[in-house]
């Protein structure tokens, strides 16, 4: 092996951590009849990054998420996702005739679904409600259950479609905190659709604006700023 002799001007050779791409969209186009909703859209999602996606109602945010989730067979263009994807919607979409616990394990193909569901419910602070019927949950609890259902799938890419917009302001803050905790612990890439600019700036590393079928604007947010987890602890509040 050759010995390396540093010259007089030795640069630090610590390589930057390699940027892995979890999802890549190239020229994605989606038409509904005459209307082109996504128009040759390009997007790359890096491993572990938290993206907020803003855009007017009807700009195609949910359409893009559906395509990324593999729920849209009619989008044209390039789309590749590495690993597993989980989605949480604005309405938690729990199956009403199955208890919370059974909702979490529904369709879950792992060796110990029950244990995994217990762990996920504990993580979102919902262990006590595991045996409850979904219709008896508060809005915040239902959203926690929805997050647990996504989390238990250990997604590489977590798609959140306006999951907080139906919650009251205080509950929303505690759920923000929870999402940041979960993100720090598991580091999935997150693509969060929101119409709340403050929420986007608070949670995300990168804020994108969808307009006229493309990413029309992008801001990278300083990682140094305080996030909710640095704010007074509100996690003990009931949601
Ligand atoms: P956003 O989530 O940004 O509010 P959507 O992605 O839900 O917007 O919808 C974008 C546009 O595509 C809207 O005009 C909507 O009416 C239309 N659209 C979405 N899904 C369908 C569908 N299945 N059939 C026809 N039009 C649709
Ligand atoms: Mg939408």
Ramachandran assignment for 149, one of left (phi > 0), alpha (psi -120 to 50 degrees), beta (any other): alpha
| Nearest-angstrom CA–CA distance, 144 and 135 | 14
> Does pLDDT of 63 surpass 80?
yes
At 7 the pLDDT is 56
- Sign of the CA dihedral with 181 first, then 184, 185, and 191 last: positive
E strand or H helix at 43: strand 35-46
CA of 58 to the centre of ligand 1 (A): 6
| Nearest-angstrom CA–CA distance, 130 and 153 | 17
CA of 161 to the centre of ligand 2 (A): 7
At 189 the pLDDT is 97
Taking only the tens place, the pLDDT of each residue in 9-36 is 555 666 667 889 999 999 999 999 999 9
Percent of the chain with pLDDT over 90: 70
* Residue nearest (by alpha carbon) to ligand 1 atom 22: 32
pTM (two decimals): 0.88
Rounded mean pLDDT, 46-64: 96
DSSP 190-218: EEEE-S-HHHHHHH-SEEEEEETTEEEEE
Query: Which-ligand-closest: CA of 57?
Result: 1
Report the chain's mean pLDDT, rounded to a whole number.
Answer: 89
Task: Identify the three-state secondary structure at position 172.
Answer: helix
DSSP 44-81: EEETT-EEEEE--TTSSHHHHHHHHTT--TT-EEEEEE
Q: Are 46 and 118 in contact (CB under 8 A)?
A: no
At 221 the pLDDT is 87
Residue to mutate, 28, 38, 41, 58, ligand 1, most ligand atoms under 8 Å from C-beta: 58
CA-based nearest residue to 92, from 107, 108, 103: 103
Give strand pairing partners of 35: 32
* Residue nearest (by alpha carbon) to ligand 1 atom 1: 58
Atom of ligand 1 nearest to the CA of 162: 2
- Sign of the CA dihedral with 135 first, then 122, 148, and 206 last: positive
The count of other CB atoms within 10 Å of the CB of residue 2 is: 4
Taking only the tens place, the pLDDT of each residue in 138-151 is 999 999 999 999 99
Alpha helices in the chain (DSSP H): 61-68, 100-105, 113-123, 139-151, 169-186, 197-203
Atom of ligand 1 nearest to the CA of 57: 4
Does the ipTM surpass 0.90?
A: yes
């Amino acid at each position: 092996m050759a010995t390396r002799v540093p010259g007089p001007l030795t640069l630090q050779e610590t390589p930057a951590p390699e940027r892995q791409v979890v999802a890549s969209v190239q020229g994605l186009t989606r038409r509904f009849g005459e209307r082109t909703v996504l128009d040759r859209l390009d997007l790359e999602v890096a491993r572990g990054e938290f993206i907020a996606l803003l855009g007017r109602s009807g700009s195609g945010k949910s359409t893009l998420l559906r395509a990324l989730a593999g729920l849209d067979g009619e989008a044209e263009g390039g789309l590749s996702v590495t690993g597993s994807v989980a989605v949480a919607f604005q309405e938690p979409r729990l199956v009403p005739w199955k208890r919370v616990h059974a909702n979490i394990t529904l369709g879950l193909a792992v060796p110990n679904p029950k244990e995994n569901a217990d762990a996920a419910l504990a993580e979102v602070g919902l262990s006590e409600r595991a045996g409850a019927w979904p219709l008896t949950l508060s809005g915040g609890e239902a959203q926690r259950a929805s997050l647990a259902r996504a989390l238990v799938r250990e997604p590489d890419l977590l798609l959140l479609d306006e999951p907080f917009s139906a919650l009251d302001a205080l509950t929303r803050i505690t759920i923000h905190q929870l999402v940041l905790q979960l993100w720090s612990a598991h580091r999935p890439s997150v693509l969060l659709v929101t119409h709340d600019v403050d929420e986007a700036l608070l949670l995300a590393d990168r804020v994108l604006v969808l307009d006229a079928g493309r990413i029309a604007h992008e801001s990278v947010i300083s990682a140094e700023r305080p996030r909710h987890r640095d704010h007074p602890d509100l996690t003990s509040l009931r949601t």
